[in-house]
Amino acid sequence: MKDNKSKSELDYKKLTQSDKDLVSKMVAGGFSRRDVLKLSVVTGVSLVAAEQLLTEGKAVRAATPKKGGSVRCASNIHGPNDQLDPTLFTSSIDYMRGRATYNSLIQHADDLTPQPELAVSFEPNSNATEWTFKIREGVTFHDGKKLTADDVVYTMKRHQGEDSTSVIKAVLASVKEWKKSGPMEVKAILESPNADLPVLLGLFQTKIVQEGTTGAGIGTGPFVMESFEPGVKSVHVRNKNYWREGAHLDACEITAITDPVARVNALIAGDMQLVTQVEPKAFRQIEGADGATLLSTPAALQIGICCLKNTAPGNNDDFVKGLQYIQDRERIVKRILKGKGSVGNDTPVSPAHGKDFCSELPQRQYDPDKAKFHFKKSGISTAEIFVAPIQGGIEDICLTAQANCAKIGFDLKLKKVPADGYWGAVWMKEPINVVSWNMRPTANSQMGIQFGPGAAWNDTFWNNERMGELLALSLAETDPAKRHTLFCEMQTLIHEGSGMVIPAFSNINDGIADNVMGVPKVPLGQLGGCEWPEFTWLA
């Protein structure tokens, strides 16, 4: 320890190696930022140097996963409708419980490429109209029963058929039949070619359940469900018979705190180690707090305004253009999303989708003069947007648009409705409403879901034949250059003609305690696509 009296700040370089080692060890052992700074006063180490040691120490910690410990995770909604049937999973808390309890055939890597999980291999035939999946041997459910191809076929069939209530029924509709082709082999026979089928089989709702059940919390997953109280919490303990190395944590608890302020307070107070859906307003609070970190993952989480094209005023192209030009995109990202997001170009594809993003498409800018021109040309002087708090920042985006419209003399009204019942009563029904979409693993499925002519969730009712052609072509195209041209054309079509206004993409913002490591970066959902249960460890 240096002499207390010499409080002068020392250069990092002047520290002896043993001092550095000492502090690194302390940091690796879990000293917080505050402790290291305190230490710096005692040892005379400069604040700058202390920061650097802290970063080094963190790097040391990050390398090796440690076993043990338990965490509590608070998601943002739950309710008496919490349940354990994967086909009905619709919110983050379901996805996380699903990840802890079950497995799918396919897993998503951080860059969204499909990885083997319960399917050791997946091979298409020559024109991608048939996929063969080899099922992993030696996997058992939590109650001891062995996993067989029968369980897989049964699970997949639950997404098909007239009586099916599966959330992803439409997404998997291209599969005509699931067939057991061997004791541990399953074939999917498709109606039309689909090179992306494996990626879709990593979606949250594709978890494999036992034949004859609806899930009931018995899966093959890294945690065994110890208790489940719908609307309150669930407790999970490590599965000792997991088919691969498995979870690092001994146990985890999953619950939800619906009030956003309370959720963040719980993280900062140390009552929770992981929380989802941190609002932009709370970023400063987390960043300034000891012991908590903001985890912001770039994603194509879409925030948009739909103008229905089958009715006024959405069917007036100039009106839509006016609404698009009045969006102050840079400011939205900077001020409302606090920089944790990216500018949108009125298409659902973002750089997070990888190569299929059309970077050649010129970025639409905030242009009040052009907006005024288009509004004037449209002959419309007032409109009303139905707004609900379905995603953080969406109301504020509409408020900003309203203020900007007022400046150019356009009367944009906002009608606020509650979030519950929004999807049934307002979305796809009112002439102008807001929407948000979780990122889909492929640009093709992203565009297909929303903009395919006649698609079930075509929220602007935009029917464009060429779009339909391109979607089908792109599913079958394998040559990268040709693929890119197709995707660019699709995005241009949407950019120019659909009724969709997408001013920004939001990052996925979660909060974690400083000692929580290993959260994946899959951008499909909160906390690494809800994949955290199996991969997280405590430093």
**DSSP 3-state of 511:** strand
When the beta carbons of 36 and 266 are compared against other proteins, the nearer one is 266
In whole angstroms, the minimum distance from the beta carbon of 336 to other proteins comes to 8
Taking CB under 8 A as the binding criterion, the range among 57-65, 266-274, 347-355, 495-503 that sits at the site for other proteins is: 266-274
Q: How far apart are CA 308 and CA 136, in angstroms?
A: 46
Rounded-to-integer distance, Cα 207 and Cα 167, Å: 13
Tell me: does residue 312 bind other proteins (CB under 8 A). no
Interface stretch with other proteins, choices 79-87, 96-104, 301-309, 312-320 (CB under 8 A): 79-87
Instruction: Provide, rounded to whole angstroms, the least separation between the CB of residue 311 and other proteins.
Output: 19
Give whichever of 45 and 171 is closer to other proteins, judged by the CB atom. Answer: 171
**509 to 538, contacts with other proteins by CB under 8 A?**
none
Structure tokens at 416: 């606020």
403 binds other proteins (CB under 8 A): yes
Residue ranges of alpha helices (H) inside 118-179 are 149-157
Pick the closer one to other proteins by CB: 138 or 212. Answer: 212
226 binding other proteins? (CB under 8 A): no
Binding segment toward other proteins, per CB under 8 A, in 116-124, 227-235, 486-494, 498-506: 227-235
CA–CA distance, 328 with 350 (Å, rounded to integer): 18
The structure tokens listed for 157 are 């069939």
Q: CB-wise, 235 or 320, nearer to other proteins?
A: 235
* CB of 379 or CB of 421, closer to other proteins: 421
Secondary structure (3-state) at 225: strand
Q: Does 408 bind other proteins (CB under 8 A)?
A: no
Interacting residues with other proteins between 372 and 391 (CB under 8 A): 389
Residue 268 as a binder of other proteins (CB under 8 A): the answer is yes
The CB-of-80 to other proteins minimum distance in angstroms stands at 5
Other C-beta atoms lying within 10 Å of the C-beta of residue 174: 17
If the CB atoms of residues 488 and 524 are measured against other proteins, the closer one turns out to be: 524
**Residue 342: Cβ-neighbour burial (10 angstroms; 0-12, 13-18, 19+):** buried
Least spacing, CB of residue 165 vs other proteins, in Å: 5
Query: In 3D, which of 25, 6, 27 has the Cα closest to residue 17?
Result: 25
Instruction: Decide if residue 74 touches other proteins (CB under 8 A).
Output: yes
Full DSSP string of 79-92: -TT----GGG--SH
End-to-end CA separation in angstroms for the chain? 26
| Cβ nearer to other proteins, comparing 352 with 385 | 385
Does residue 38 bind other proteins (CB under 8 A)?
Answer: no
Residue 237 CB-density burial (10 A; 0-12 exposed, 13-18 middle, 19+ buried): middle
Query: Do 213 and 101 contact (CB within 8 A), yes or no?
Result: no
CB atoms within 10 A of CB 302: 25
Positions in 84-113 near other proteins (CB under 8 A): 88, 90-91
Cβ-based neighbour number of residue 407 at 10 Å:
11
Residue from 261, 312, 339, 351 in contact with other proteins (CB under 8 A): 261
- Which member of 14, 415, 466, 482 binds other proteins (CB under 8 A)? 415
Count of other CB atoms within 10 angstroms of residue 56 = 15
For other proteins, give the closer residue by CB, 185 or 396.
Answer: 396
CB of 88 to other proteins, least distance (A): 6
Other C-beta atoms lying within 10 Å of the C-beta of residue 508: 28
Is 6 an interacting residue with respect to other proteins (CB under 8 A)? no
Report the residue number, 233 or 238, with the smaller CB distance to other proteins.
Answer: 233
Report the number of secondary-structure helices (H) and strands (E) in the chain. 18, 19
Of 389 and 518, which CB lies nearer to other proteins in the complex structure?
Answer: 389
Sign of the C-alpha dihedral computed for residues 315, 319, 321 and 324 taken in this order: negative
Is residue 182 within the footprint of other proteins (CB under 8 A)? no
Question: Quick one: three-class SS letters along 3-66?
Answer: CCCCCCCECHHHCCHHHHHHHHHHHHCCCCHHHHHHHHHHHCECHHHHHHHHHHHHHHHHHCCC
- Size of residue set near other proteins by CB under 8 A: 71
Omega within 30 of 0 (cis) for the link into 533? no
> Residue 291 or residue 518: which is nearer to other proteins going by CB?
291
Is residue 232 a contact residue for other proteins (CB under 8 A)? yes
Helices (H), 172-273: 197-200, 260-269
Least Å distance, CB 283 to other proteins, is: 10
* The only residue of 331, 355, 466, 482 in contact with other proteins, by rule CB under 8 A: 331
In the shown chain, the binding pattern of residues 422 to 461 toward other proteins, with x for contact by CB under 8 A and - for none, equals: -xxx-x----------------------------xx----
Q: Is 79 in the site for other proteins (CB under 8 A)?
A: yes
Does residue 416 bind other proteins (CB under 8 A)?
Answer: yes
| Binding residues for other proteins restricted to 113-172, rule: CB under 8 A | 162-170
Selection from 208, 171, 177, 205 nearest residue 190 by Cα:
177
Give the C-alpha separation, 304 to 346, whole Å.
Answer: 8
Whichever of 113 and 265 has its CB closer to other proteins, that residue is 265
The region of 133-141, 144-152, 186-194, 277-285 touching other proteins under the rule CB under 8 A is 277-285
Stretch that binds other proteins, among 192-200, 315-323, 397-405, 496-504 (CB under 8 A): 397-405
Query: Minimum CB separation from other proteins for residue 409, in Å?
Result: 14
Q: Is the separation of the CB atoms in 192 and 472 below 8 Å? A: yes
Query: Contacting other proteins (CB under 8 A), which of 285, 350, 378, 491?
Result: 285
For residue 248, give both structure tokens. 């690092």
